[in-house]
Structure 1
Amino acid sequence: MAEYDLTKTIIPHLDRHLVFPLLAHLVENETFPVEQVQAAQYELAKETNMVDYAVNLFEQQHPDEPVPDEFAAKREKAVSTHERLQQEAQAVLNVIENPEVAQSLRQDKNQNLQYLKDHYNVTLDQINALYNFGQFQYTYGNYSGAADYLYHFRVLSTDPDLTISAHWGKLASDILTGKWDVALEELNSLREAIDSRAPTAPAFASAPSSSTTDPALIQLHSRTWLLHWSLFVYFNHPQGRTLLLETFLSPTYLNTIQTSSPWILRYLATAAVLSRKSASGALSSRVRHSIREIVKVIQTEEYQYQDPVTAFLKELYVEFDFEAAQRELGKAEGVVANDFFLAEFRDDFMDNARYLISEAYCRIHQRIDIGDLSERLNLSRDEGEKWIVNLIRETRMGADAKIDLGKNVIEINRPPLPIYQSVIEKTRGLAFRTQALGAAMSRSQPPPVPVQEEQPVVVEGAR
């Protein structure tokens, strides 16, 4: 599965500390030689203030060599820096944690700064001390403490660039502490901040940076990073897969995927498969019809990226080649099982993928041999029979399908679709697409040049 591993592709879009869980996963599943992964872990750790962790990694790789003296000096420097920054930050924290002060603060940050300056002599430099200490705590692995200080800084700061930087640091801290509800709120807040303006590149730890000064490119860069960071949240939060579809299929972020990170299609396709059985009820139209839209994108971006997960959907819904879909599903199972974000969804993915195959197969056949369908689902005859019976009992297929166990076949009795329903299906979304096309055309046209009215020519003597 090494050829399908996306770790090296994703790492450039992550903060240094977010990479550690990915590398630990590679050590566990042994996709790559353990020695190489441990060497990568050491290279990452030695540039942080997690001195003890870096020393442990060095000793694992070089058990017979003494620990370099540079680590002792780095530990001493980290301790002294921690004490200094803590003193600077604590002076501000003591003020804002005072209940009287907390009650006096308002929504207007400038008003709050003036209040703190007039009553407690708190300056902007002192408020920035909260950011500096939060960032330092993050570098040595105290993510919970970093989240607290960055939150307090963000509430008071009026510096837009440092505020965005604190957003990234707070999100990373919440991810690394596993607070998924809080991380989701932070993710949504950061997305709104990025979408509302073109922020300058954040400077927090290894947060996204760019040499360009073009606001549009900076915004694209930030959205690309946000897509990758959001994978941690969306594949751990209980409603994450549905929320992923809502976000990634929006025009802005779908364009970002196609422009700068087509490999995200693996996670978009997997989320659509995982949500397929429940794609009804209160879910939005975008989620219910997500596979249809994703398949179109997979076709368009096939020249840039493809893997067994995307190929499975393409073979099933574009080529209608059930044998090829069966082969790709077998490969996709291994891909999902070895992917850091998807591994725990392996069984759900296979169950939902088999549902998709069954749904598509039953849609174009009226009489189905259970043994043949079981083979296409990569199941034995007995396993396939049980799985198909449960599927028909639990889904809407039960109204149209009947099982004849004596003949070992499924009979599909599907009533013809009313003509008005066919028209509705054909024209679904036509008004929205027409409106979007009109808006795009109006944006592409140059503004009209005002025409000056010609003054009538008066001929002398004319009456």
Structure 2
Amino acid sequence: MSELSNSELETARKYDLTQKVIPFLDRHLIYPVLESLRADDLYDDEVITQLTFDLFKETNMTQFVKDQWEILNPGKPIPNDIITKEAKVDEIFNKLNNDTKETLDILNLQEVQDHLKQDKQFNREYLEKNHGITEAKINSLYEFGQFQYNRGDYVMASDLLSNFRVLSTDTDLIISATWGKLASEIIRLEWDSSLKELSKLREVIDSRSFANPLTQLHHRTWIIHWSLFPFFNIENGLDQLLDLFFSSSYLSTIQAASPWILRYLVAAVVASENSSNSSNSTKSLNNLSNPTFQKRLKDLIRVVNQEQYEYNDPLTDFIKALYIDYDFQEANSKLLEASIILRSDFFLANIADSFLENARHLISEVYCRVHQRINLQELSKSLNLTNEEGEKWIASLIKETKMDAKIDESEGTVLLNHPNTSVYQQVIEKTKGLSFKANQILATALQKQDNVQ
């Protein structure tokens, strides 16, 4: 990330969502978010180190905790409770390792793997009868997997939890193991594996038989936050994010429990690209006339309008200014602020360029829809382009969106023929319609009142 100026740092801090998202993330997932704040200089380095120490002091990562203590307290002896815990962690590790070694060795035997089937009950009976693997030994795999995760050995944790799920029939522990495996895969940057685990969780949590509505809401909120990690780091991830977040149950969850996620919904809609094979100059233009993009944009405008009093930031304000208020000056102002957030937000850095490129196309597209005569110099200036770049830009826009328009190079203008009324006129007509209906209702009510009297 490029270095932010002091004023940009103020903006980044003002709209930092770290305190919002932390309650919905596992502490191990919070760590990379904190490190990004350190890298961006959003907060004092010592503050981040202290937060990191507080975050991990209750885990089994005793060496890491010792390192953080020494950074915070140079020259001071490490507290006895940390030393004592380190010895205790080693003791528990040796016990759990011994408890699970035989089970893991048996499960790794080829003859055993050949006998195992999809039927868990058959597998459990076979393993207990022929190899003495009891319910307690199966649960030891879960316990050791959880221990290894808290110890920072995410590879071993993932393997142990996978083996546990193959054999266990305890629904609650299986769900817990899946959360643990998902977190392990995210931390290891194994995005394909993390998406598979995410899918397994959704299948269980979205079922009608899952717990009560409040618990279901809680789990969906966690899924929404955890899914940001893979969705913003894989090809076609934005489309998958939008499919999930725009689904009725998850959109309701966002509105009810985590309205700040609207930032990521706006970012994904604007930055989403319809064709990965087209050139950068036409990618977003292809999207403008794409029905899926238009449907998502329409839904986004509606949600942003509904939630503007619950949550707003420069990204949501950009949508409001452009599509609700038709305030192009405000839209450009919010876009400048949004560019700072895109560079400083842990999840959005990868899509910053796509967002800004597409946002400019959206501004110019709406601008053309509203006006019948456009000054190319003014439009180019508002988009931070040279006159030549602006002319090429508008030519591409006209071609891709099939607008009835003509560029007058000598006058430096674009003339647009809108077969339908302008956006302003549409608003006026809708207002007239609502006023007419209101008068009808009022007249009917007054007539009924006269009849009663």
Same-fold status (TM-score > 0.5): yes
Aligned with 2:83 (options 47, 52, 72)? 72
CA contact (8 A) 2:61 2:151 kept: yes
Cα drift, residue 399 of structure 1: 6.5
Question: Could you say which residue in structure 1 is the equivalent of 2:438?
Answer: none
Aligned with 1:85 (options 68, 84, 96)? 96
- Output the TM-score relative to the length of structure 2: 0.83
Cα drift, residue 45 of structure 1: 1.7
1:329 corresponds to 2:338: no
State the number of aligned residues. Answer: 402
Question: Could you say which residue in structure 2 is the equivalent of 1:217?
Answer: 214
Query: Relative to structure 1, is the Cα distance of residues 284 and 69 closer, same or farther in structure 2, using a 3 angstrom cutoff?
Result: farther
Query: Relative to structure 1, is the Cα distance of residues 289 and 327 closer, same or farther in structure 2, using a 3 angstrom cutoff?
Result: same
Q: Distance in 2 between matches of 1:387 and 1:26?
A: 36
Question: Could you say which residue in structure 1 is the equivalent of 2:435?
Answer: none
Query: Relative to structure 1, is the Cα distance of residues 358 and 72 closer, same or farther in structure 2, using a 3 angstrom cutoff?
Result: same
SS of the residue aligned with 2:206? Answer: helix
Q: Distance in 1 between matches of 2:393 and 2:68?
A: 47
- Output the TM-score relative to the length of structure 1: 0.81
Moved more, 157-166 or 405-414: 405-414
Aligned with 1:407 (options 407, 411, 414)? 411
Question: Could you say which residue in structure 1 is the equivalent of 2:130?
Answer: 119
Aligned with 2:22 (options 4, 11, 26)? 11
Q: Distance in 1 between matches of 2:104 and 2:208?
A: 30
Q: Distance in 2 between matches of 1:275 and 1:297?
A: 18
Q: Distance in 2 between matches of 1:130 and 1:287?
A: 46
CA contact (8 A) 2:233 2:350 kept: no
Aligned with 2:112 (options 101, 109, 113)? 101
Aligned with 1:48 (options 59, 66, 75)? 59
Question: Could you say which residue in structure 2 is the equivalent of 1:273?
Answer: 270
Aligned with 2:379 (options 353, 361, 373)? 373
- Opposite residue 364 of structure 2, the aligned amino acid is S
The superposition leaves residues 75-99 of structure 1 with CA deviations (integer Å, 9 ceiling, x where unpaired) of 2221221121122222111122222
Aligned with 1:354 (options 350, 354, 360)? 360
CA contact (8 A) 2:267 2:355 kept: yes
Q: Distance in 2 between matches of 1:383 and 1:53?
A: 52
Q: Distance in 2 between matches of 1:193 and 1:115?
A: 27
Q: How does 1:150-189 map to 2 (within 5 A)?
A: 150-189=161-200
1:251 corresponds to 2:256: no
SS of the residue aligned with 2:414? Answer: strand
1:131 corresponds to 2:142: yes
- Which structure has more relative contact order (CA 8 Å, sep 6+)? It is 2
Q: Is the helix fraction higher in 1 or 2?
A: 2
CA contact (8 A) 1:326 1:378 kept: no
Q: Distance in 1 between matches of 2:145 and 2:324?
A: 51
Q: Distance in 2 between matches of 1:402 and 1:23?
A: 52
Q: Distance in 1 between matches of 2:178 and 2:291?
A: 31
The superposition leaves residues 250-307 of structure 1 with CA deviations (integer Å, 9 ceiling, x where unpaired) of 00001101111111101011100011555879x9965541111011111111111111
Cα drift, residue 52 of structure 1: 1.7
Question: Could you say which residue in structure 1 is the equivalent of 2:223?
Answer: 226
Q: Percent identity?
A: 44
- Opposite residue 248 of structure 1, the aligned amino acid is F
Question: Could you say which residue in structure 1 is the equivalent of 2:236?
Answer: 239
Q: Distance in 2 between matches of 1:302 and 1:27?
A: 30
Query: Relative to structure 1, is the Cα distance of residues 284 and 224 closer, same or farther in structure 2, using a 3 angstrom cutoff?
Result: farther
Query: Relative to structure 1, is the Cα distance of residues 285 and 24 closer, same or farther in structure 2, using a 3 angstrom cutoff?
Result: same
Question: Could you say which residue in structure 1 is the equivalent of 2:450?
Answer: none
Q: Distance in 2 between matches of 1:321 and 1:287?
A: 22
Query: Relative to structure 1, is the Cα distance of residues 63 and 398 closer, same or farther in structure 2, using a 3 angstrom cutoff?
Result: farther
User: What runs of 5+ residues in structure 2 fail to find an aligned partner?
Assistant: 1-11, 276-283, 422-453
RMSD in angstroms over aligned alpha carbons?
2.5
Cα drift, residue 64 of structure 1: 3.1
Aligned with 1:293 (options 288, 295, 299)? 299
Q: Distance in 2 between matches of 1:6 and 1:154?
A: 34
Question: Could you say which residue in structure 2 is the equivalent of 1:342?
Answer: 348
The superposition leaves residues 111-147 of structure 1 with CA deviations (integer Å, 9 ceiling, x where unpaired) of 2111111211110111111111111111111111111
CA contact (8 A) 1:147 1:173 kept: yes
Question: Could you say which residue in structure 2 is the equivalent of 1:262?
Answer: 259
